[in-house]
Structure 1
Amino acid sequence: MNNITGVYTAIVTPFSPSGEIDGVALREQVKRQQQAGNNIFCNGTNGEFFMLNEHEKTRVTEICLEAAGGDTGVMSHVGEISTSATVRLGKHIEKLGVRAVSVITPWFATLRPQELIAHFRAVADALTVPVYLYNIPARTGNTLTPEIVRELAEHPNIKGIKDSAGSWESLQGFHEVSQQFSDFSVLTGPDSLIYRGFTEGSIGCISGIANIIPAQVNAVYRHLQEKNAAAAEAVQADINQIRTLLYGIAFSPAVVKKAVNLLGYNVGESRYPVDFTQDDTNKILAVIKDFNLRG
């Protein structure tokens, strides 16, 4: 039985004015998500994992687990550019008690299918915590295809995939793989596909926009659990509008963090080198006002 289900928020990593991890603010965000019924996915793209060192990633995970207690599942991303670094971080993280870890494809270097397979198998062999593949080719330059994933799904410790390729065709291909394995599941990455993912095979979603609208994202899942597809689809339509307006402003994880700040939560500046103009800020404020978003 897979224990990664429902909504996981790809939680932002708050920083203090001096640039250090702000544990108080992070705990506040975990509790905020918990109140909406969401689980926690830390050290992802919205958590700025590219900008965190190994110690910081471990500390973020520790804080999320402490804040969540036993009521909220915590999943942590441990993917690094090399196999050895991924294994090293994964071993640190699994000792903390997370439910699962995700592993992104290596980036910058273009890898052949057999090299990607060898990388993920080596990581899964080395760890005892359940491993989820993380497909986001637009950011890494490496694509996990259904053919590659079908081979990896045979590994007893590879339990599923988070697909953030951005298209329904990609997600559907992994749904077809999951139908062939009783212990391999799909997590929807794109916020635009949460509803469709749940209705057609995904057992969970990992959402960046849930940092801004935690209750709305959870409502898609809750309505579907209650067999109210029309209500779920209506909420998804609102999410899509908010997403389109916000994500067109700048690099979306930086926009998410800026919006959380403008909602009244002090999560600090993004380490991503995005410089928001006053016009950018006004556009985010307009979305908050027009959709009556609340912290």
Structure 2
Amino acid sequence: MKPIELKGIISPILTPMFDDGSINLDELRLQVDRMIAHGIHGIFAFGTNGEGYILSASEKRSVLETVVDQVNGRVPVYAGTGAISTLETIEQSTMAKEVGADVLSIITPSFAAASQEELYIHFKAVAESVDMPIVLYNIPARTGNSIAPETVAKLSKIKNIVGVKDSSGNFSNILAYIEAGKEKDNGEFYTLSGNDQLITWTLMAGGTGGIAGCANVYPKTMASIYDLFISGDIEGARKTNESIQTFRSCFKYGNPNTIVKTATALLGHNVGPCRAPFNQVPQAGIDALKSVLNDNQSKNMH
């Protein structure tokens, strides 16, 4: 397994689509270059913001092949390979390794309730089947299953489980994950914030970055949170992190990743709509987005 540091701001890149829902791979290449040009530290294919939940297996391969080719080694490529079944998760993870991803992000199984022992056995089986760095992904609001800190500590003992992303929005949980990661005795364990508002706080607590959906709208601003922090300008990082709050306030108008994709399109990028049925934003939401985007442009947010 190739060693890799999980750090910085990783963009869960959008999957551009045409109006009929088919994938626009040419625009995907442009978005990869846009992210990297603005300082993003990693690209994450078909995460929540990339609509991984609604893409077929063949579409995921096509998206990942395009991302890996366009990145061309400039930054690490993460691939979201989690599925409801252990078998499909292993199949998707194997595909990602074949295509050339650097890191696997594996979400908890969804729909059916899982015990902590079932989650442990699931992640352990995947880790033993695919010799790649694995980031556990906790987003209980979407999956219905949460990884307990004790389970993270237990899983950290497995060599290629190297980190966790927490999107619960609960900072206490992030702190517990950071503490759990200290039990890893065969390498470093990384904790990433999946909540864009908590990135600076996660860094201050000992985490190493964030997988930030807002990076699709403001890649330069989001990347600079980490860069400012690492340079020692913690107050600058904190203020920059706070600057995205007006945009995040628009999330009340729809599914957050639908809002992110709509905002990116309003900025003039041909990313298209989200795939139906998750593609509706009311006119009040469009008006609010336009107002916030214009205001933030005047503040030189990019």
TM-score by length of 1: 0.96
Q: Are 2:60 and 1:57 equivalent residues in the alignment?
A: yes
Does the 8 A contact of 2:76 with 2:103 survive in 1? no
| Aligned equivalents of 2:4, 2:270: Cα separation in 1 | 35
Does the 8 A contact of 2:11 with 2:216 survive in 1? yes
Q: Are 2:273 and 1:257 equivalent residues in the alignment?
A: no
Does the 8 A contact of 1:124 with 1:131 survive in 2? yes
| Aligned equivalents of 1:79, 1:148: Cα separation in 2 | 17
Q: Which amino acid aligns with 2:178?
A: H
Indicate the residue corresponding to 1:216 in structure 2.
Answer: 221
Distance change in 2, residues 1:74/1:121 (3 Å)? same
Q: Which amino acid aligns with 1:268?
A: G
How far does residue 274 in structure 1 lie from its aligned partner after superposition?
Answer: 3.3
Q: Tell me the secondary structure at the aligned position of residue 78 of structure 2.
A: strand
| Aligned equivalents of 2:282, 2:201: Cα separation in 1 | 35
Q: Tell me the secondary structure at the aligned position of residue 80 of structure 1.
A: coil
Q: Summarize deviations over 1:256-283 as a string: whole Å, max 9, x none.
A: 0000000000101101523222222111
TM-score by length of 2: 0.94
Q: Are 2:126 and 1:123 equivalent residues in the alignment?
A: yes
Does the 8 A contact of 1:191 with 1:240 survive in 2? no
Written as runs of structure 1 = structure 2, the 5 A alignment for 1:127-276 is: 127-181=130-184, 182-243=187-248, 245-271=249-275, 272-276=277-281
Q: Tell me the secondary structure at the aligned position of residue 8 of structure 1.
A: strand
Q: Are 2:83 and 1:68 equivalent residues in the alignment?
A: no
Does the 8 A contact of 2:255 with 2:278 survive in 1? no
How far does residue 2 in structure 1 lie from its aligned partner after superposition?
Answer: 3.9
| Aligned equivalents of 1:84, 1:25: Cα separation in 2 | 32
Q: Summarize deviations over 1:4-53 as a string: whole Å, max 9, x none.
A: 21110011100123321111110111001001111201110000011100
Which runs of structure 1 show a deviation greater than 6 angstroms over 4 or more consecutive aligned residues? none
Q: Where in structure 2 are there 5+ consecutive unaligned residues?
A: none
Q: Which amino acid aligns with 2:225?
A: V
Distance change in 2, residues 1:267/1:283 (3 Å)? same
Identical residues among aligned pairs (%): 33
Does the 8 A contact of 2:78 with 2:101 survive in 1? yes
| Aligned equivalents of 2:234, 2:285: Cα separation in 1 | 35
User: How many residues end up aligned between the 2 structures?
Assistant: 294
Indicate the residue corresponding to 1:16 in structure 2.
Answer: 18
Q: Tell me the secondary structure at the aligned position of residue 110 of structure 1.
A: coil
Q: Which amino acid aligns with 1:32?
A: R
Indicate the residue corresponding to 1:278 in structure 2.
Answer: 283
| Aligned equivalents of 2:121, 2:301: Cα separation in 1 | 46
Does the 8 A contact of 1:2 with 1:183 survive in 2? no
| Aligned equivalents of 1:275, 1:98: Cα separation in 2 | 32
How far does residue 167 in structure 1 lie from its aligned partner after superposition?
Answer: 1.2
| Aligned equivalents of 2:294, 2:39: Cα separation in 1 | 24
Indicate the residue corresponding to 1:28 in structure 2.
Answer: 30
Does the 8 A contact of 1:4 with 1:99 survive in 2? no
Cα root mean square deviation, aligned: 1.3
Indicate the residue corresponding to 1:46 in structure 2.
Answer: 49
Q: Summarize deviations over 1:41-100 as a string: whole Å, max 9, x none.
A: 111000001110011111111111111112121101000110000001110111122111
How far does residue 294 in structure 1 lie from its aligned partner after superposition?
Answer: 6.3
Tell me which moved more, 140-149 or 285-294. Answer: 285-294
Does the 8 A contact of 1:263 with 1:294 survive in 2? no
